[in-house]
């Protein structure tokens, strides 16, 4: 695996792969890799001849009081994990390479980026859309893979690709990969390592409470009181606050107050011991979608 941190070298490496007739998949990450990221790499290998991963802790997607400085950085260990998975190329630019002196452009995707994480992390999705658009233009992948754990992020990136008529990759070649979970249901996240042992045990209440809420809504319970009960269950389990617990259209991310015909998604962000955890799960009445 080649590790590259200068754009000129990246362009040469990408041209080499493409001139050799290879298709290329991109797995964008911020590092601190876990099994969820490695699952993306495996899926990428199944979809293209060569795989590039990027590691870049993107300052533009962190708010002023967020964990940019504390965010785990372990490039050598991550590179070893990627190499063991058979990744071909690691793009690890510096902040100066990504945003050189005088950098002034930002991409803002309205609609899907509003509410949920867009509401509790102002500017976050502008930072995500901007860096992902740059990564796409730098690596020119045929396909790009993202974890469904960041469901709203995936919707924002797809919307951006459609709206800007991107071709490398096209919106249809942006692939969401299902969330990888621990045995107790907690979604894997680089931020789980911030949790104390006690909070880690308590955190399993999040997927459990979400499943209970989904079963209730799918069974016909009213949405608002069910989400209210979900928030209460999290506080009772030891979470300090709930940023949001929303039922949203799975594609447009419009907030839903009743479960309709279209697939929906329950999205939750909650804080435990100073760590903000997010999760999402599908909601729908499967028999309604059956032919």
Does residue 150 belong to the site contacting ligand PAF (CB under 6 A)? yes
The CA distance from 193 to 280, in Å, is 19
Q: Give Cα separations from 201 to 167, 174, 178, 196, 212 (angstroms).
A: 44, 34, 23, 9, 18
Q: How far is the CB of 7 from ligand PAF (least distance, A)?
A: 17
Active site residue 124: no
Among 10, 17, 25, 30, binds ligand PAF (CB under 6 A): 30
Q: How far is the CB of 36 from ligand PAF (least distance, A)?
A: 10
Q: Residues 103-142: x/- map of binding to ligand PAF (CB under 6 A)?
A: -------------------------x--xx----------
Identity of the residue, 128 or 195, whose beta carbon is nearer to ligand PAF in the bound complex: 128
Does residue 145 belong to the site contacting ligand PAF (CB under 6 A)? no
Span interacting with ligand PAF, options 25-33, 75-83, 105-113, 159-167, rule CB under 6 A? 25-33
Name the catalytic one among 37, 124, 137, 228.
Answer: 37
Q: Residues 60-99: x/- map of binding to ligand PAF (CB under 6 A)?
A: -x--------------------------------------
Q: How far is the CB of 124 from ligand PAF (least distance, A)?
A: 9
Identity of the residue, 149 or 265, whose beta carbon is nearer to ligand PAF in the bound complex: 149
Q: Which two tokens stand for residue 59?
A: 């300052």
Q: Which residues are catalytic?
A: 37
**Which residues contact ligand PAF (rule: CB under 6 A)?**
28-30, 58, 61, 128, 131-132, 150, 153
């Amino acid at each position: 695996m080649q590790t590259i941190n200068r754009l000129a070298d990246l362009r040469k490496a990408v041209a080499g792969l493409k001139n050799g007739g290879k298709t290329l998949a991109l797995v964008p990450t911020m590092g601190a890799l876990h099994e969820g990221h490695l699952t993306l790499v495996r899926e990428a290998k199944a979809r293209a001849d060569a795989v590039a991963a990027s590691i870049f802790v993107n300052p533009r997607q962190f708010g002023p009081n967020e964990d940019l400085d504390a965010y785990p950085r372990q490039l050598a260990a991550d590179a070893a994990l990627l190499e063991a998975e058979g990744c071909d190329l690691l793009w690890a630019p510096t902040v100066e390479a990504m945003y050189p002196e005088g950098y002034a452009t930002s991409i803002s995707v309205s609609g899907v980026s509003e509410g949920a994480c867009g509401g509790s992390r102002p500017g976050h999705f502008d930072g995500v859309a901007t860096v992902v658009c740059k990564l796409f233009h730098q690596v020119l992948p045929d396909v790009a893979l993202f974890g469904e754990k960041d469901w709203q992020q995936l919707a924002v990136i797809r919307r951006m690709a459609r709206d800007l008529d991107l071709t490398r990759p096209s919106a249809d070649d942006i692939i969401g990969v299902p969330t990888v979970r621990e045995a107790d249901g907690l979604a894997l996240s680089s931020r789980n390592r911030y949790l104390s042992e006690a909070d880690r045990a308590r955190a399993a209440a999040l997927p459990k409470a979400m499943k209970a809420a989904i079963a209730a809504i799918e069974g016909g319970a009213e949405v608002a009181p069910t989400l209210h009960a979900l928030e209460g269950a999290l506080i009772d389990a030891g979470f300090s606050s709930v940023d949001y617990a929303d039922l949203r259209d799975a594609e447009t991310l419009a907030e839903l107050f009743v479960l309709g015909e279209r697939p929906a998604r329950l999205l939750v962000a909650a804080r435990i011991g100073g760590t903000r955890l997010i999760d999402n799960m599908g909601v729908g009445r499967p028999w309604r979608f059956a032919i």
